[in-house]
Amino acid sequence: MSKENELLASVSDVSTESEFFSPIPKGYKKGKTRYVFVMGTVMSGLGKGIFSSCMAKLLQDKGLKVAPIKLEGYLNVDSGTLNPFRHGEVFVLDDGMECDMDLGTYERLLDQDLSKANFATSGQIFSAVLNKERHGDYLGRDVQMIPHVTGEVKLKLRELAMKSKADVVFVEIGGTVGDLENAYFIEATRELAYEEGPGSCCFVALTYILEPKTLGEQKSKAAQLGIKQLMQCGVQPDIIACRAGSPVNEKARQKISIYSNVPFERVISLPDSASIYMIPAMLRENGLDFQVIRMLKIEDRINLQKERREWGKWCDFTEKMEKMDRQVTIGITGKYITVRDSYASIINALEHAGIALGCKESIKWIDTTDVDDSNVAEALEGVDGIIVPGGFGTRGTEGKIACVKYARENKMPYLGLCFGFQMAVIEFARNVCGLKNANSTEIKPKCSEPVIDILPEQKEIEGLGGNMRLGGHDIDLKPQTLAWKIFGKKDSVRMRFRHRYEVDPKYIETLEEKGLIFSGKAPNLPIMQILELKDHPFFMGTQAHPCLTSRPLRPQPMFVGLVAAALQRHYPDEKLPDCEKAVQAVK
């Protein structure tokens, strides 16, 4: 072992004697875990998370244990306060971590629940470094970007490797090479590759090939310059994935290969795809999965029998996508409808349910700002079912309530998520229970009949985001209800939450007497979490966000129920299974 490696191996936390500063978790075994770093050039939004998760899935199918992590350059400690217009949906993990929507892509493709260990922002990294400095952990050394901040990044990656016991950790760096906030992330990956040694790491650069319509040919110069920036950071890419609207021609790939020192067979074309679920096959056809395995020297760890079995399941799923002979239209009454990424998990959950039932689902986006009882039928024209999703604020709430009323009275399949659950309670209280002033204190703080309010124990928690009910919680299910049946007749189910307001317990008895069924509640607490109606094709609401746990091969039962009921409405002359039977058939 070289002197440098001896010093690195001996550093468990901090040393004032060596310049080889690299905090290493106790018990970490160098070489056990390999790393794949995925970064982008030219522009953001190239699909780094999709590429990384699809590649991770291919390795996972081969019997390897994988663990993803997203490194975000922004200074926010989490994604909880980010505007969906600017950054897409906030994805909530089971442990309550509010994070980037790419974590949803990882969970769906890998079919595994992630945690805060799989997500890091600059805000988290800098906070950790400053806290250590305040506690004297650096023993009087001047605290610098290198080695202390980069050391914290490496520590985060190695801790994930140990916690997950992964064969391969996939590291996605948000944004692009050249972004000022990403410089220390890239430097940290360079250092880690140096410390781990040859064959330990694989660097993947996603780039974009321009194709100006006025020129009629593909141009690779912007891609070349972006890759040059990465190489100037001391990182030699091993694979370059060329994103474009159409297949990247051989000439453009040759130019990039020569310019970047990357073998031509590892400069691959990744054109736009109709579905992200087709991308694993694209990577596999390029042989990229075995390229990565050979570079990381882990051929002896793969299980080809498992790969054949898992790939067969995936092919069965993607083949269903090409054989969908029915179609339904689902209306989504959203606040952020101009940015589809704001509802990425809902869109995916609908797609999973549709594929399982053999139907395409088209979405009608409905802005409820100007919707009321007089024009709601027009707004919902051509819709087979509706979703009122989560959201914050007062804009469009009366329009959403009008949509709920229409769905209830006209037997239209309805699914309310979080805020949509609350709107269903308010509508029922007003129009069935006779509580004409029923409202939420979020919408009208001084309303006389606050059927939706912040519970007393929540009010005691101060600070924006501090009094949110976040993450996974168990829900007790009421026997013989629709919720109990579609969740497999279990006593309880676990779903993820992100909200402050609840049904005020003093109104529960009144609502139930008039026919509203609370089929799910928090264990040992008067917190209502699922509602439904009898004598309705499908009318359900949940305070949770069930879309967050939908998976391609395991569609979420509530979404399956909604789509099944919508199919029955769209094809009334066909003998299609009701929502309960459809869910059982999918399982």
Total-model pTM: 0.92
Helix/strand/coil for 542: strand
Q: Which residues of the chain fall short of a pLDDT of 70?
A: 1-17, 83-87, 335-340, 392-393, 455-467
Can you give the pLDDT at residue 81?
74
DSSP structural state of residue 342: G
Strand arrangement, sheet containing 501-503: 438-440, 449-454, 501-503
Q: What is the rounded radius of gyration, in angstroms, for the C-alpha atoms of the chain?
A: 26
Buried/exposed code over 3-14 (b: 16+ C-beta within 10 A; e: otherwise): eeeebbeebeeb
- Strand-pair partners of 114: none
The residues near 373 (Cβ < 8 Å, ≥ 6 apart) are 402, 405
Place of tokens 């200074």: 75
- State residue 444 phi and psi, 5-degree precision: -135, 90
Can you give the pLDDT at residue 35?
98
Can you give the pLDDT at residue 339?
59
Distance CA 247, CA 162 (A): 39
* Complete domains list, the chain, with CATH: 21-316 (3.40.50.300), 324-586 (3.40.50.880)
Tens-place pLDDT, residues 493-505? 999 999 889 999 9
The letter for the amino acid at 579 is C
Can you give the pLDDT at residue 465?
44
Place of tokens 């969740």: 487
The residues near 169 (Cβ < 8 Å, ≥ 6 apart) are 33, 34, 35, 36, 66, 67, 68, 69, 157, 160, 161
Distance CA 587, CA 554 (A): 8
Q: Which two tokens stand for residue 474?
A: 């168990």
Q: What is the largest CA-CA distance in the chain?
A: 81
Can you give the pLDDT at residue 16?
56
DSSP structural state of residue 547: G
Can you give the pLDDT at residue 456?
64
Q: What is the dihedral of CA 128, 129, 130, 131, to 10 degrees?
A: 50
Can you give the pLDDT at residue 163?
95
Can you give the pLDDT at residue 12?
46
The letter for the amino acid at 318 is T
